[in-house]
């Protein structure tokens, strides 16, 4: 007895995100050492291109040796990029994000990237409240022209957002900051100890 | 950087990209500890929700702190604290206690960008750009026109109506949206306020502050903490953002958002693996956010066809590598299966969802620890969480409405069907109890990391729910039944209710419990009785004769159609009693013996003498004792010396005929107690009156008392009369099926015996006596509820009071009963004749 009906719920991400590998030339011929991932091909091509364009800088070893060195670097790059573990993301965009994060200001794809670090998030928001709303009424009766408060019946008048208004009501003190250890009454009882000790999952 | 949001109104959010978002607050569905059929229903609602939400949407489950003050406010609601000082003291103690622990609940939201149909697809972004330009030039700001608001509200309403009503989605107020943003800025700092209730002072504060949405400084990788410029590798080793409030730069919230990057290849088992709905069981405090795109079956079929083409191409490209069975075969199988699932159900849609969990804290170390714990928790279910350092700021944005889905979030999305995604049951709750009343327990369904208060409002909330006013407590000896019963009773006395309790313990623990209640009375039904419960003396003349006749009928085994009954009716007529000065059972006995000339009077007097001369008969027959005051706030009937007929005594006529006088007396007295309790509790319809019968099997062994209790539970609600029953086995001890079934609030405490635990669970879930019971629940009751460690330790203090609860709204959950928090009161309640290991100390 006590048997329950169980069901399996599956994900089909792998069925649709098929890793693209290239093992054949468009002509149908097999690529030596393949198949390769797009990343490997891209990285190999990019490194090859850079080496070709910067040849005067490094090609000091003499004709044949230069080719061997370049081929070695390209093969090494292809081999290394083949070892990148699968993270669920496109390695190229990951690299782009990493560069975005770590270079400031930096240069990517020929464009200048300026990253304010840390960045400040500001809001300029208009709030539209129904006519009967208490907060709207409160704001209007006190003649307060708060930064963002626009009662709906005034929407056609287009208000300019002004600076910080006077706080019409005192702010609440976050109760978490109140610590009054002098009060007599219950101290940390069973539940408190339980929470402190995080014993919860012992019962399986 | 300026945020994307340009205007807010109730339920709607205008953004600078020309997209208007609709935001709803949704009510989660009770889930954990529910019976399986309810779990399946909850999942069906989720499936329907995903099928209703075509296109993009953002789903949020955020942990909102519960302000201890709000808990106490709920406790004093409807109670004049000035008049009830004991309750004020308890509330104060509760406030102190709650300040030591973190309490809070998850609040749920859905936000969706509204489509821009037709020309709007071009016009809206243009208008948004124009508004942005005006902002830049400091020109007067444009706000959406009334017409635009109306149009968008109608669009949002259409979408809302599509969603299942089980989630009760309602447009989020501006204050709620402001809370949402404020919450994101100060996660993990314990500064959160409760979600503002519409129209409350809190809501006004949110709207009338210096700014509606708080500004924030977002520092990727907490680079402002470093004294020197960090190297790229160092930055990549800090997968979090530091969110700083520019007004209080010292208060920094560190937040790390983990993304689900891989799912179990074999799928997940349902029910049992509700990976989002039960995330709180990980004991890591976290917020979750799901960015999802829902695609129709037709669209999915098109995509699947393309995937088949890619797959064929890949078979070709990898022909060399793929000779000996490969991952491509697996992919082909999965693709075939997926298409088959889509073909099988015409309503099925695809859910392409990225699930994010945000952990937070006041320091980077804590955040990374929490992130590690959560990753481990999910790894045990074969889910892979990734803490991608490169996109933390983008992920922070992605958990807020109004911001377009960042690219990285799309890259991490996982594809499944609505039905399969619904197995995660994200909108699940374990909330229990009423919205106000006495603090009965802390809900610990998700483990004790973030408990919730469980209120019980016997007098108020249950009125609206149209259920009987009754609570049943079942558990083995020493499991905490009595403490729970007494806590509820005493809390309510403090709040102005009255109590009449049957106490069958030798120690007289109920007497001890009410000792601090001014004016409380304890009736010892024994030779040392100090108070009399003579119905002729304590009941008003209109009721006294009827109750007395019922009592004497049972006591003297008088047949309904007998001369003795006729005689009793005559002598108990008010006019007759007035004429002969009969004011008590004692005077009635004397009258029958000496003055009465009616036939059979002497026989009746002789029979009465059998009982009036019993030593413990004094509490009824001795008219020199003062009578109890039925208006006293607490009355305890101490019945430990009474003997009661057993079930076999009652069922077999030969045993019944030979019943000892003590047992007959016990049976009649229990019936009298039940009658007195019903009279007292039904008298005043405005005041809550409680009848508590711990060890209910004793009271119920008197058929007349059981009948009274049956009437009590059926009619109690109309008279604001509540019944509390406690015993070891509901099936045996709570009288008949009707009484058992009518008890709406059920508490099941520890039962180490598997069979009794199973019976208790059936009663808790209202199931038939042969219904199947989840073996995990049986294990929870036998081993995981207030477990007894060993003979020396007993139950550890922090585990006491654990139980499973079914509340007045038929929601289930795990809770920890709270004994009173005022120390002296707690001591009186905890006085118990049994140790926590269940062995009797004194007997």
Is A57 near chain B, with CB under 8 Å?
A: no
The answer to whether the CB atoms of B416 and A12 lie below 8 A apart is: yes
Sign of CA dihedral A161, A165, A170, A173: positive
pLDDT at site A190: 41
Say if the Cβ atoms of A125 and B316 lie within 8 Å.
no
Integer Cα distance of B31 and B42 in angstroms = 7
Please give the torsion angle defined by the CA atoms of residues B490, B495, B501 and B507, in that order, rounded to the nearest 10 degrees: 20
Question: B376 or B205: which carries more pLDDT confidence?
Answer: B376
Q: Do B798 and A200 touch (CB under 8 A)?
A: no
Residue whose pair of structure tokens reads 């008298």 in the numeric block: B683
- Please state the rounded mean pLDDT for residues A151-173: 32
| ipTM (interface predicted TM) | 0.79
Please tell me which residue of chain B has the smallest CA distance to A132: B199
Query: Average pLDDT in the B96-101 region?
Result: 87
Report how far residue B475's alpha carbon sits from residue B478's, in angstroms, rounded to the nearest whole number.
Answer: 8
Closest Cβ–Cβ partner in B69, B270, B419 for A6 = B270
Q: Smallest CA–CA separation between B6 and chain A, in Å? A: 5
Q: A177 to chain B: nearest residue by CA?
A: B191
**Please, which residues 527-546 of chain B have a Cβ atom closer than 8 Å to chain A?**
none
Q: Measured between alpha carbons, how far is B775 from B574 in angstroms, rounded to an integer?
A: 60
**B248-262 and B241-245 as β-strands: parallel, antiparallel, unpaired?**
antiparallel
Q: Which of A15, A169, A198 sits opposite B449 (nearest CB)?
A: A198
| B36: its two tokens | 């399986």
Is A125's CB within 8 Å of B8's CB? yes
pLDDT range class, residue A118, cuts 50, 70, 90: low
Give the pLDDT confidence of B204-244 residue by residue, as tens digits. Answer: 666 666 567 877 888 888 888 877 778 888 888 999 999 88
Cβ contacts of B218 within 8 Å, gap of 6 or more: A118, A119, A120, A121, B241, B242, B243, B244, B393, B396
**A38 shares contact with chain B (CB less than 8 Å):** no
Residues of A with Cβ-Cβ distance to B211 under 8 angstroms? 123, 147-148, 164
Min CA distance, B147 vs chain A (Å)? Answer: 11
What pairing do the DSSP bridges indicate for beta strands B802-806 and B745-748? antiparallel
**Of A187-201, B177-191, B504-518, the least confident:** A187-201
Could you give the CA distance from residue B579 to residue B567 in angstroms, rounded to a whole number? 16
Task: Give the pLDDT band (50/70/90) at residue A199.
Answer: very low
List, as one string, the DSSP characters of B28-71.
PEE-TT--HHHHHHHHHHHHHHHHH--EEEEEEEEEEEPPHHHH
pLDDT band at B278 (very low <50, low <70, confident <90, very high): confident
Q: Which residues of A touch B131 (CB under 8 A)?
A: none
As a whole number, mean pLDDT of residues B579-583 equals 89
Rounded-to-integer distance, Cα B672 and Cα B670, Å: 5
Binned at pLDDT 50, 70 and 90, residue B474 comes out as very high
Helical H segments across B137-185, by residue range: 146-162, 174-185
> Of chain A residues 66-125, which have a CB less than 8 A from chain B?
87-90, 93-94, 97-98, 100-103, 116-125
Q: How much is the pLDDT for B357? A: 96
φ, ψ of residue B389 in degrees (nearest 5): -70, -20
pLDDT value at position B320?
Answer: 65
Least confident of B1-5, B153-157, B485-489: B1-5
For B619-639, what is each residue's pLDDT tens digit?
899 889 999 999 999 999 999
Residues of chain B neighbouring A117 (CB-CB closer than 8 A): 219-220, 223
How high is the pLDDT of residue A139?
A: 53
Q: Does A181 touch chain B (CB under 8 A)?
A: no
Q: Per-residue confidence at B468, pLDDT binned at 50, 70, 90?
A: confident
Residue among A11, A129, A168 whose CB faces B414 most closely: A11
CA–CA dist B702, A135 (Å, integer) = 62
Average pLDDT over residues B165-174: 92
SS3 category, B662: helix
Of A100, A117, A120, the CB nearest to B215: A120
Confidence of residue A155 (pLDDT cuts 50, 70, 90): very low
Mean pLDDT of B289-303: 93
Asked if B309 is an interface residue toward chain A (Cβ–Cβ < 8 A), one would say no
pLDDT at B41: 94
For residue A163, the chain B residue with the least C-alpha distance is B210
Q: Is the dihedral of CA B547, B552, B554, B558 positive or negative?
A: negative
Spell out where chain A has E strands.
7-9, 21-22, 36-37, 106-108, 111-113, 119-121, 126-129, 149-151
Query: Is A172–B773 a contact, with Cβ atoms under 8 angstroms apart?
Result: no
Q: Which of A181-195, B294-308, B309-323, B785-799 has the lowest mean pLDDT?
A: A181-195
pTM: 0.81
**pLDDT at site B209:** 60
Which of B190, B220, B394 minimises the CB distance to A176?
A: B190
- Tens digits of residue pLDDT in B706-719: 888 999 998 888 88
d(CA B453, CA B461): 15
**Is A128 within 8 Å of B304 when comparing Cβ atoms?**
no
Distance CA B131, CA B134 (A): 5
Q: Which of B707, B318, B674 is nearest to B500 (CA)?
A: B674
User: Most confidently modeled of B253-257, B727-731, B818-822, B836-840?
Assistant: B253-257
Q: What is the pLDDT of residue A134?
A: 58
Provide the sign of the torsion angle of the four alpha carbons B495, B498, B502, B504, taken in this order: positive
Cα B55 to its chain centre, rounded Å, is 35
Whether residue A172 has pLDDT greater than 50: no
Cα–Cα distance list, A91 to A85, A108, B258, B480 (Å): 9, 16, 18, 58
Give the residue from B136, B175, B208 with the most A CB atoms within 10 Å of its CB, the best one to mutate.
Answer: B208
Closest CA to B358 of B412, B403, B323, B395: B395
Three-state SS for B665-681 is HHHHHHHHHHHHHHHHH
Please report where in the chains the tokens 């709204």 appear, as a residue.
B809
Cα B605-B607-B608 angle, rounded to 5 deg: 65
Residue A157 contacts B, CB cutoff 8 Å: no
Nearest-by-Cβ selection for A148 from B211, B304, B798: B211
List B residues 768-787 in contact with A (Cβ-Cβ < 8 A): 772-775, 778-780, 783-785, 787
**B444 CA: distance to closest CA in chain A (Å):** 9
Distance from CA of A116 to the nearest CA of B (A): 9
Q: What mean pLDDT do residues B345-362 have?
A: 94
Min Cα–Cα distance to chain A from B386, Å: 8
Is the Cβ–Cβ distance between B437 and B464 less than 8 Å? no
Q: Between B197 and B234, where is the model more confident? A: B234
Is some CB atom of chain A closer than 8 A to the CB atom of B483? no
Query: Considering chain B, what is the average pLDDT of its residues?
Result: 87
Residue B544 is encoded by which pair of tokens?
């006294």
Residues 144-163 of B with CB under 8 A from A: 144-146, 149
Distance from CA of A42 to the nearest CA of B (A): 17
pLDDT category at B6 given cuts 50, 70, 90 is confident
Say which residue, B641 or B473, is predicted with more confidence.
B473
Residue A133 has pLDDT above 70, yes or no: no
Residue of B209, B224, B311, B362 to mutate for A, most A C-beta atoms under 10 A:
B209
**Pairing state between β B689-693 and B498-503:** parallel
Per-window interface: B 583-642 vs A, CB < 8 A? none
The pLDDT assigned to B208 comes to: 63
Q: Which of B545, B411, B533, B448 is CA-nearest to residue B814? A: B448
Alpha carbon distance B700, B674 (integer Å): 10
CB atoms within 10 A of CB A58: 12
pLDDT of residue B325: 53
pLDDT at B842 over 50: no
Pairwise CB contact (< 8 Å): B337 & A179: no
Nearest to B675, CA basis, from B551, B532, B809: B551
B317 touches chain A (CB under 8 A): yes
Chain-centre distance for alpha carbon B817: 12
Measured in angstroms, the CA of A81 and the nearest CA of chain B are apart by 18
The string of pLDDT tens digits covering residues B719-755 is 899 999 999 998 888 888 888 888 999 999 999 999 9
């Amino acid at each position: 007895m006590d048997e329950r009906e169980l069901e399996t719920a599956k994900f089909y991400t792998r069925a649709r995100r098929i890793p693209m590998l290239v093992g054949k030339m468009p002509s149908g011929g097999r690529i030596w050492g393949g198949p390769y991932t797009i990343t490997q091909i891209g990285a190999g091509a990019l490194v090859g291109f850079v080496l070709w364009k910067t040849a005067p800088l490094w090609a000091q070893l003499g004709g044949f040796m230069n080719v061997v060195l370049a081929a070695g670097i390209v093969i090494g790059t292809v081999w290394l990029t083949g070892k990148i573990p699968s993270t669920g993301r496109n390695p190229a965009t990951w690299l782009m994000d990493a560069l975005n994060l770590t270079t400031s200001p930096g240069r990517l794809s020929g464009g200048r990237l300026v990253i304010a670090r840390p960045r400040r998030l500001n809001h300029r928001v208009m709030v539209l409240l129904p006519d009967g709303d208490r907060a709207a009424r409160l704001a209007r009766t006190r003649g307060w022209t708060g930064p963002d408060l626009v009662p709906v019946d005034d929407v056609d008048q287009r208000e300019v957002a002004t600076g910080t208004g006077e706080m019409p009501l005192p702010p609440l003190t976050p109760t978490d900051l109140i610590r009054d250890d002098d009060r007599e009454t219950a101290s940390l009882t069973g539940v408190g100890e339980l929470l402190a000790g995080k014993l919860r999952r012992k019962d399986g | 950087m300026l945020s994307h949001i340009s205007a807010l109104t109730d339920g709607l959010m205008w953004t600078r990209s020309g997209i208007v978002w609709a935001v709803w607050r949704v009510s989660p569905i009770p889930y954990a500890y529910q019976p399986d059929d309810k779990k399946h229903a909850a999942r069906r609602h989720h499936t329907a929700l995903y099928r209703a939400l075509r296109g993009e949407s953002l789903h949020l489950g955020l942990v909102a702190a519960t302000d201890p003050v709000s808990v106490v406010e709920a406790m004093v609601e409807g109670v004049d604290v000035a008049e009830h000082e004991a309750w004020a003291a308890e509330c104060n103690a509760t406030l102190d206690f709650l300040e030591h622990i973190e309490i809070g609940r998850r609040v749920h939201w859905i936000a969706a960008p509204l489509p821009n149909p037709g020309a709007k697809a071009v016009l809206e972004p243009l208008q948004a750009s124009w508004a942005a330009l005006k902002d830049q030039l400091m020109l007067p700001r444009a706000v959406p026109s009334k017409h635009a608001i109306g149009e968008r509200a109608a669009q949002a309403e259409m979408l809302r109506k599509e969603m299942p009503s089980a989630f009760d989605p309602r447009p989020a107020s501006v204050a709620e949206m402001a809370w949402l943003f404020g919450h994101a800025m100060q996660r993990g700092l314990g500064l959160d306020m409760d979600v503002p209730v519409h129209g409350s002072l809190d809501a006004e504060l949110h709207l009338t502050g210096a700014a509606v949405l708080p500004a924030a400084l977002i520092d990727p990788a907490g680079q402002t903490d470093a004294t020197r410029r960090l190297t790229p590798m160092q930055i990549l080793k800090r997968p979090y953002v530091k969110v700083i409030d520019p007004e209080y730069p010292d208060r920094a919230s560190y937040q790390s958002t983990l993304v689900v990057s891989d799912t179990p290849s074999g799928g997940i088992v349902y029910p049992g693996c509700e990976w989002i709905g039960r995330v709180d069981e990980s004991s890591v405090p976290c917020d979750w956010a799901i960015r999802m795109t829902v695609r129709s079956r037709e669209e999915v079929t098109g995509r699947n066809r393309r995937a088949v083409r890619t797959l064929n191409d890949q078979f070709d490209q990898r022909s060399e590598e793929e000779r000996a069975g490969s991952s491509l075969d697996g992919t082909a199988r999965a693709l075939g299966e997926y298409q088959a699932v889509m073909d099988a159900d015409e309503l099925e849609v695809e859910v392409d969802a990225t699930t994010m969990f945000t952990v937070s804290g006041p320091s980077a170390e804590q955040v990374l620890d929490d992130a590690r714990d959560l990753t481990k928790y999910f790894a045990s279910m074969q889910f892979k969480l990734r803490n991608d350092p490169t996109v933390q700021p983008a992920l922070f944005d992605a958990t807020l409405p109004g911001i377009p889905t960042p690219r990285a979030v799309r890259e991490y999305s996982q594809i499944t069907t609505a039905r399969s995604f619904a197995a995660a049951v994200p909108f699940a709750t374990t909330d229990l109890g009423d919205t106000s009343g006495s603090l009965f327990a802390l809900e610990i369904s998700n483990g004790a990391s973030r408990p919730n208060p469980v209120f019980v409002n016997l007098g108020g909330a249950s009125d609206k729910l149209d259920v009987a006013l009754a609570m049943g407590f079942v558990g083995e000896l020493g499991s905490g039944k009595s403490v729970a019963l007494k806590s509820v009773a005493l809390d309510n006395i403090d709040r102005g209710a009255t109590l009449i309790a049957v106490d069958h313990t030798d120690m007289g623990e109920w007497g001890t419990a009410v000792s601090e209640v001014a004016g409380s009375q304890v009736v010892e039904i024994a030779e040392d009785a100090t108070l009399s419960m003579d119905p002729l003396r304590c009941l008003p003349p209109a009721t006294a004769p009827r109750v007395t006749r019922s009592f004497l009928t049972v006591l003297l085994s008088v047949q309904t159609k007998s001369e003795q009954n006729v005689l009793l009716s005559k002598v108990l007529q008010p006019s007759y009693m007035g004429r002969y000065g009969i004011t008590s059972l004692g005077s009635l006995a004397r009258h029958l013996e000496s003055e009465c000339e009616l036939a059979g009077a002497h026989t009746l007097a002789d029979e009465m003498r059998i009982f009036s001369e019993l030593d413990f008969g004094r509490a009824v027959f001795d008219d020199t004792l003062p009578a109890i005051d039925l208006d006293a706030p607490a009355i305890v009937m101490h019945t430990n010396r009474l003997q009661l007929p057993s079930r076999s005594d009652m069922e077999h006529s030969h045993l019944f005929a030979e019943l000892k006088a003590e047992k007959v007396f016990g049976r009649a007295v229990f019936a009298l107690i039940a009658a007195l309790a019903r009279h007292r509790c039904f008298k005043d319809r405005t005041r809550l009156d409680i009848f508590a019968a711990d060890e209910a099997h004793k009271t119920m062994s008197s058929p007349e008392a059981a009948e009274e209790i049956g009437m009590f539970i059926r009619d109690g609600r109309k008279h604001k009369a509540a019944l509390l029953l406690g015993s070891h086995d509901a099936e045996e001890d709570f009288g008949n099926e009707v009484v058992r079934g009518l008890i709406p609030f059920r508490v099941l405490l520890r039962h180490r015996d598997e069979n009794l635990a199973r019976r208790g669970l059936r009663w808790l879930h209202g199931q038939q006596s042969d219904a199947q019971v989840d073996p995990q629940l049986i294990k929870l009751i036998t081993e995981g509820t207030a477990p007894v460690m060993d003979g020396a330790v007993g139950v550890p203090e922090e585990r006491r009071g654990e139980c499973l609860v079914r509340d007045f709204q038929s929601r289930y959950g795990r809770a920890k009963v709270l004994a009173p928090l005022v120390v002296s009161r707690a001591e009186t309640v905890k006085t118990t004749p049994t140790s926590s290991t269940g062995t009797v100390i004194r007997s």
